[in-house]
Amino acid sequence: MFNRVQAFWSQSHKRDGFALGLAVGTFGITFGVLANAAGISDLMAVVLSLFVFTGASQFAAVGVVNAGGEPLTALGTALLLGARNGVYGLSVGRILPVGKFKRLLGAQLVIDESVAVSSLQLDDRDAREAFWVTGLSVFIFWNLGTVVGVLLGDVVGDPRTWGLDAAFPAGFFALLMPHLRSQEKRQSALWGALIALAAIPILPSGLPVIASVGGVFIAAFASSLRRRRS
């Protein structure tokens, strides 16, 4: 047992994946607490983490419900945010095993973390191992964290007293931060924010956040102009 642990730990791609999963567990706890604060049942929160299993989309759906938004808005924003997993699937599908069952099982683990660690590897075998170790580790700790979070939320009491109902936007900012390093994504974020801001007094509630996706096209247009000029 000890030898196997040591062997596992000596391979950096497995070690990194495992450690990342452990860190994501704390996200899971906050997801459980906030889902509870949004008035979502414990069972629903746990089912979301098991079957939706993509953090930003889950936070978005729960955040919209928390803000009193329509179910369609919750679904729309979550699906807009989940679309990138489709792109990940296209790239990581190449290294997944051939069997259909394993591919479909592995598909659920296609998320930011597993794809990031996997794409850092130099050969396909390491990439595949990194994908499974990271994906499974994130899956296990994200779900354990959710359970701990909803139980913790039950103890906390009225979320408004603690301001927990207002913690979502800061959480979205933390999720947005890594995107701000690239100039194009920064512009997309900026235009998305401006569109949402302008849309609030004009469009019916629930649509401004969907409209923010228009920022994508302005950012793309601006970047193509820049490239043409240089």
Partner 1 sequence: MDWSLVMLLAVGCYGYKAGGVLASKKIKLSEERERLLNYVAPAVLSGLIITQTFENEGQLYVGAPAAGLVAGALAAYLKAPFPLVLAIAAAATALVRLL
Give, as ranges, the residues between 94 and 153 that touch partner 1 (CB under 8 A).
Answer: 94, 96, 103-104, 106-108, 110
Nearer to partner 1, 84 or 147 (CB): 84
With contacts defined by CB under 8 A, name the span among 3-11, 12-20, 88-96, 117-125 that binds partner 1: 88-96
Burial 215-225 (b: 16+ CB within 10 A, else e): bbebbeeeeee
Q: How many CA atoms lie within 13 A of 113 on its CB side?
A: 30
28 exposed, middle or buried (CB, 10 Å; 0-12, 13-18, 19+)? Answer: buried
Phi, psi torsion values for 96, nearest 5 degrees = -70, 160
If binding is defined by CB under 8 A, does position 229 make contact with partner 1?
A: no
Query: What residues between 154 and 173 interact with partner 1 by CB under 8 A?
Result: 160-173
Residue 104 structure tokens: 């479909």
Query: What residues between 189 and 228 interact with partner 1 by CB under 8 A?
Result: 189-193, 195-197, 200-201, 204-205, 208-217, 219-220
Query: DSSP secondary-structure letter at 204?
Result: P
Of the candidates 16, 21, 54, 150, which one interacts with partner 1 according to CB under 8 A?
54
Distance (Å) of CA 29 to CA 141, 148, 177: 9, 6, 20
With contacts defined by CB under 8 A, name the span among 1-9, 11-19, 75-83, 118-126 that binds partner 1: 75-83
Shortest CB 192 distance to partner 1, Å: 3
Nearer to partner 1, 9 or 93 (CB): 93
Counting residues that bind partner 1 (by CB under 8 A) gives 100
Distance (Å) of CA 114 to CA 10, 111, 140, 156, 204: 19, 6, 13, 32, 38
Nearer to partner 1, 57 or 134 (CB): 57
Nearer to partner 1, 11 or 144 (CB): 144
